[in-house]
Chain A
Amino acid sequence: MSKTDNSAVDADEEMKEGTASAAAGETSLRVDGISKSFRHVQALSNVSLDINRGEVVGLVGENGAGKSTLLNILTGVLDADEGQLSVDGEPVEFDSPREAADYGVSLVRQEQDVITNFRGYENLYLGREEQRLGVLSRDEMREDAQAFVDDLGIDLDVDAFVSEYSFNERQMLEIAKSFHVSQKSDNPVILLDEPTAALEEAGRELLFDLIDDLRDRATFVFVSHELDEVLQVSDRIYVLKDGELVDETTAAAATTDSLQQSMVGREAADEYYRVPQQRAAADLGPETFGVSDLETDDLGPLSFSLREGEIFGIVGVEGSGKERLGRVLAGDVPKTGGTVTVNGDAVGDTSVAKMVDAGVGYIPKDRKSEGLLLYQSVLVNTSLAMVRTMNGRLPLLDLDREEQATADAIEELNIKTPGPDALVHGLSGGNQQKVVIARWLAQDTPILVMDNVTRGIDVGAKEEVYRLCRELTDRGVSIVFIGDELPEVIGMSNRIAVMAEGEFAGEPFDAAAGNKPTEEDLIQEMI
């Protein structure tokens, strides 16, 4: 709870050690007593923090803690009600992202802001194209852009179309763009908003390496839900909760548990994954879901089975095929061989419709593009699967049943919504994800295939999802739990299979309570 006073002192001390005025450790961006409210909601109250030159500063907090508001104020998108920003000791007021960039402050967004059918350099110069007599100076821009990224040590071909870039390369392009728009500043402050949300393990390492390489040329603010990453990459971490700064700590002195505790204000220990509620192997029901010699062009043969009430974890690096396996089980990607059985009955050709009929529900990794009708109501989203068979063969809707199922789901899953008719778009990430889960519960789907079910939702909502999974298994639901977060998969699963190059690497690990494998155990099999 040292807040800003200490860090200011630290900065002063380091300044004495520093030589030039632009020495590392000097306060680069100062936020002093910023408050902001939207109508009745106090989004930020009296937040003060110092971002020092050359530092990587972590910023964590639950959804709604005020992180996005703060980033928006720092980049001139929003005006603060009170408080003062200063850059290199000079008080500033940003009216637009462009002004912020002139002072070296820019944001790399969660959703990538690149135009994919433009070339790399065109994106780099977007909105600030160089032209002569109204004609674009393409060659110059291309050469300058290439020199620019080369100089940053970023490995990119700026003449290629962004659509040909990997996700990582797009992100690097955006980071390069941050430097590019901040050229007036000798040490830009680059705000990274959830930069790893869409990256898999290898991509994250690349990003972290890049941040490390660039830290003598820029200052980074790293905003993320993934606390282990924040710890790994940051020097210092600020914790926001309900719009207030509740903690400031060095990364060395913090753990994920301690951060979590300050974020949610409660103890979050081994209980997090509700391991004591995990069903013991002896306590599981009969086999409900069987996969034998399942094959596609790039998968398998894969065999495994789940018993009633079991959670079967699947982990693997990017490209290991775990996401694809999820899609095959969903019926979304056709299998070329092998059989899938549900309660002993083989499902022939696996189309989504057939798998849903058989009782398998899929919860995709990206809920916004594949999970939810964002501009439709909670009711429409909840009943989307059950409407298929609502009135037997009649094509009519049963509105009473839909309303009942939605009301039950809101109650049972504790979905925070103004009502069943509210648009899903307005709900928080955690509540949106609950709606996706509710869709399958509404028709009592006995087997759920979840791909990164807690991706991008806050700690509190994650806990609720974990609790829900335990309750479902108590009711006899079996879950295929595919995940990128090893601690989560380890904590939740009864058994864990490791995928590598489309196949299982050895027998699944037993993950009974008290006998959980470590992350290292899994990683060894993953690579």
Chain B
Amino acid sequence: MSSTNPNAIQEWLSKQREQRTMHDWITDVGPFAMLFFLSLLFAVGTREFLTYNNLINNVAKNSAFLLLVALAGTFPILQQSIDLSVESIVTLTGVLTVVLIGEYQMGLLAIPIAIGFGMLAGLVNGIVFTKLKVPSFLVTLGTLSILMGFALIVTGGSTITFRNQAIRGIATGTWIPGVPNLVMWGLLIYGGTVFLAWRTKFGRYCFALGENERVVELAGAKVDRYKIYPFVLSGLLCGTAGVLLTLRISSASPNIAGGLLLPSIAAIVMGGTALTGGVGGPHRTILGVLVIAVLQNGMNLLSINPFVQEIILGVVVVSAVAMSIDREKIDVVK
């Protein structure tokens, strides 16, 4: 743009603004529109959908776990890697919780230990990924299998249980009237991750690393460290999910977290965090989670055959993700 023609600059600037607004609009409104459309559909189609009991006890409570796992997966994806081991971390921390409470009678102390174990698993993921330079999807695919193996060994492949009603209250109680604890924990953690993403150096570097690692490195950041943190955070959130899941049902089995991986990644991408990294964020992931939760709930209310539900969920997930891929980084236009 010539610096000698102020009119041309003004026109060019307004063109840039227009383009940006259009792009933003699609990404911003897409998941909302989907959520609204599905809710409208089920509100009209069923009598139960728009009731407090259904929205809180079914939609919100059941989606708390998906929310935690999806939030866990958001940060690695933001920095353009991925954590595929989330299911196993949830499972093994759940199993660990049962063992620590049931066999070792540790009570509350079991919770930080189990969560700490989740963080340790994440740390191992992160270190192997950054220091040994193994692609993150491979590392975490490996840990997915390894941790699941441990869970199978500890449980012997079946369900293990504990008895401690008091401690279960953390997951099953309602400390704030009208808000089940599971929903409360979900929202608290959601708020925490949004804060991490937008108000801390860690969050800023996640976005920046997802966009271009070299640039961040040359700006003086200790890149390796910031590439490990998202995996540790992922371990922490999955550990929390594992603990809550176990406390809720006072038991654990190797398949308690089965089937969380695909919906969680779908929720992340649907929400607007691109698999190519750098854009989106945890504040948007909750939208994707709600879309999936509402869809599952609505199908249940409509008494759709569970096998057919699987098919519908898969189709919706893939098409939603396909749509959001289009909204990613616009190509260079000259």
Give residues in A with beta carbon < 8 Å to B: 38-41, 62-65, 68, 72, 241-242, 264-266, 330, 332, 352-353, 355-357, 362, 364, 369-376, 380, 384-385, 387-388, 390, 395-397, 399, 416-418, 422-423, 425-426, 428, 439, 460-461, 464
Inter-chain contacts of B200 with A (CB < 8 A): 395-397
Does B13 belong to the interface (CB within 8 Å)?
yes
Give B195's nearest chain A residue, CB to CB: A396
Q: Report Cα–Cα, A390/B200, bound state, in Å.
A: 10
Give B23's nearest chain A residue, CB to CB: A423
Q: Report Cα–Cα, A371/B215, bound state, in Å.
A: 5
Does B17 belong to the interface (CB within 8 Å)?
yes
- Taking a contact as CB atoms closer than 8 A, the residue among B12, B202, B220, B334 that contacts A352 in the complex is B220
Q: Report Cα–Cα, A356/B216, bound state, in Å.
A: 12
Question: Would A373 and B218 be within 8 Å (CB), given that A41-B12, A380-B207, A397-B204 are in contact?
Answer: no
Q: Mark B3-46, 1 if CB is under 8 A from A, else 0.
A: 11100110111111111100000000000000000000000000
Question: Would A352 and B3 be within 8 Å (CB), given that A396-B200, A397-B204, A418-B13 are in contact?
Answer: no
Inter-chain contacts of B19 with A (CB < 8 A): 426
Does B279 belong to the interface (CB within 8 Å)?
yes
Nearest CB of chain A from residue B195's CB, rounded to whole Å: 9
Give A243's nearest chain B residue, CB to CB: B8
Q: Is the CB of A387 within 8 A of B204?
A: yes
Q: Is the CB of A375 within 8 A of B216?
A: no
Inter-chain contacts of B114 with A (CB < 8 A): none
Q: Is the CB of A353 within 8 A of B220?
A: yes
- Taking a contact as CB atoms closer than 8 A, the residue among B203, B219, B221, B329 that contacts A375 in the complex is B329
Q: Mark B185-213, 1 if CB is under 8 A from A, else 0.
A: 00000000000001111111001100110
Q: Report Cα–Cα, A353/B220, bound state, in Å.
A: 4
Q: Is the CB of A384 within 8 A of B8?
A: no
- Taking a contact as CB atoms closer than 8 A, the residue among B199, B208, B215 that contacts A397 in the complex is B199
Q: Is the CB of B278 within 8 A of A375?
A: yes
Q: Is the CB of A375 within 8 A of B211?
A: yes
Across chains A and B, the number of contacting residue pairs, with CB separation under 8 Å, is 125
Nearest CB of chain B from residue A519's CB, rounded to whole Å: 28
Chain B CB within 10 A, most for which of A332, A384, A385: A384
Q: Is the CB of A373 within 8 A of B211?
A: yes
Give B10's nearest chain A residue, CB to CB: A40
Q: Is the CB of B208 within 8 A of A418?
A: no
- Taking a contact as CB atoms closer than 8 A, the residue among A62, A396, A422 that contacts B201 in the complex is A396
Tell me the chain B residues, 255-280 only, with Cβ under 8 Å from chain A. 278-279
Does B217 belong to the interface (CB within 8 Å)?
yes
Nearest CB of chain B from residue A351's CB, rounded to whole Å: 8
Nearest CB of chain B from residue A73's CB, rounded to whole Å: 12
Nearest CB of chain B from residue A323's CB, rounded to whole Å: 14
Nearest CB of chain A from residue B333's CB, rounded to whole Å: 9
Inter-chain contacts of B2 with A (CB < 8 A): 62, 64-65, 241-242, 264, 460
Question: Would A388 and B207 be within 8 Å (CB), given that A241-B2, A426-B20, A460-B4 are in contact?
Answer: no
Does B327 belong to the interface (CB within 8 Å)?
no
Nearest CB of chain A from residue B198's CB, rounded to whole Å: 8
Q: Is the CB of B201 within 8 A of A395?
A: yes
Nearest CB of chain A from residue B3's CB, rounded to whole Å: 4
Query: Can you show 6 pairs from A to B with CB atoms below 8 A apart?
Result: A64-B2, A64-B12, A356-B220, A370-B214, A376-B211, A460-B3
Q: Is the CB of A399 within 8 A of B204?
A: no
Q: Report Cα–Cα, A355/B217, bound state, in Å.
A: 12
Q: Is the CB of B1 within 8 A of A373?
A: no
Q: Report Cα–Cα, A426/B331, bound state, in Å.
A: 11
Inter-chain contacts of A353 with B (CB < 8 A): 220-222
Q: Is the CB of B334 within 8 A of A385?
A: no
Q: Report Cα–Cα, A371/B214, bound state, in Å.
A: 8
Nearest CB of chain B from residue A247's CB, rounded to whole Å: 15
- Taking a contact as CB atoms closer than 8 A, the residue among A41, A357, A372, A425 that contacts B11 in the complex is A41
Nearest CB of chain B from residue A193's CB, rounded to whole Å: 10
Nearest CB of chain B from residue A513's CB, rounded to whole Å: 26
- Taking a contact as CB atoms closer than 8 A, the residue among B13, B17, B219 that contacts A416 in the complex is B13
Nearest CB of chain A from residue B225's CB, rounded to whole Å: 10
Nearest CB of chain B from residue A279's CB, rounded to whole Å: 26
Nearest CB of chain B from residue A177's CB, rounded to whole Å: 21
Q: Is the CB of B1 within 8 A of A428?
A: yes
Nearest CB of chain B from residue A16's CB, rounded to whole Å: 40
Inter-chain contacts of B20 with A (CB < 8 A): 418, 422-423, 426
Q: Report Cα–Cα, A418/B13, bound state, in Å.
A: 6
Give A332's nearest chain B residue, CB to CB: B218
Nearest CB of chain A from residue B230's CB, rounded to whole Å: 14
Inter-chain contacts of B203 with A (CB < 8 A): 397
Chain A CB within 10 A, most for which of B11, B202, B211: B211
Tell me the chain B residues, 36-73 only, with Cβ under 8 Å from chain A. none
Q: Is the CB of B215 within 8 A of A373?
A: yes
Q: Is the CB of A357 within 8 A of B220?
A: yes
Tell me the chain B residues, 220-236 only, with Cβ under 8 Å from chain A. 220-222
Give B15's nearest chain A residue, CB to CB: A39
Inter-chain contacts of A390 with B (CB < 8 A): 201
Inter-chain contacts of B16 with A (CB < 8 A): 418, 422, 426
Question: Would A265 and B201 be within 8 Å (CB), given that A370-B218, A422-B16 are in contact?
Answer: no
Q: Report Cα–Cα, A330/B220, bound state, in Å.
A: 9
Inter-chain contacts of B11 with A (CB < 8 A): 39-41
Q: Report Cα–Cα, A40/B14, bound state, in Å.
A: 9
Q: Report Cα–Cα, A387/B204, bound state, in Å.
A: 9
Q: Is the CB of B3 within 8 A of A373?
A: no
Q: Is the CB of B329 within 8 A of A387?
A: no
Inter-chain contacts of A63 with B (CB < 8 A): 1
- Taking a contact as CB atoms closer than 8 A, the residue among A62, A357, A376 that contacts B208 in the complex is A376
Q: Is the CB of A375 within 8 A of B218?
A: no
Q: Report Cα–Cα, A72/B334, bound state, in Å.
A: 9
Chain A CB within 10 A, most for which of B3, B201, B203: B3
Inter-chain contacts of B9 with A (CB < 8 A): 416
What 6 A-B pairs have minimum CB-CB distances, sorted nearest first? Answer: A356-B220, A64-B1, A460-B3, A373-B211, A384-B219, A385-B219
Q: Is the CB of A362 within 8 A of B218?
A: yes
Q: Report Cα–Cα, A428/B3, bound state, in Å.
A: 11
Q: Report Cα–Cα, A418/B9, bound state, in Å.
A: 10
Q: Report Cα–Cα, A161/B62, bound state, in Å.
A: 53
Nearest CB of chain A from residue B80's CB, rounded to whole Å: 12
- Taking a contact as CB atoms closer than 8 A, the residue among B5, B15, B329, B332 that contacts A40 in the complex is B15
Inter-chain contacts of A332 with B (CB < 8 A): 217-218
Q: Report Cα–Cα, A298/B221, bound state, in Å.
A: 26
Q: Is the CB of B215 within 8 A of A387?
A: no
Q: Report Cα–Cα, A388/B221, bound state, in Å.
A: 7
Inter-chain contacts of B214 with A (CB < 8 A): 369-370
Q: Is the CB of B334 within 8 A of A373?
A: no
Nearest CB of chain B from residue A328's CB, rounded to whole Å: 13
Tell me the chain B residues, 102-146 only, with Cβ under 8 Å from chain A. none
Inter-chain contacts of A373 with B (CB < 8 A): 208, 211-212, 215-216, 278
Inter-chain contacts of B202 with A (CB < 8 A): 395
Question: Would A399 and B220 be within 8 Å (CB), given that A369-B212, A460-B4 are in contact?
Answer: no
Q: Is the CB of B15 within 8 A of A380?
A: no
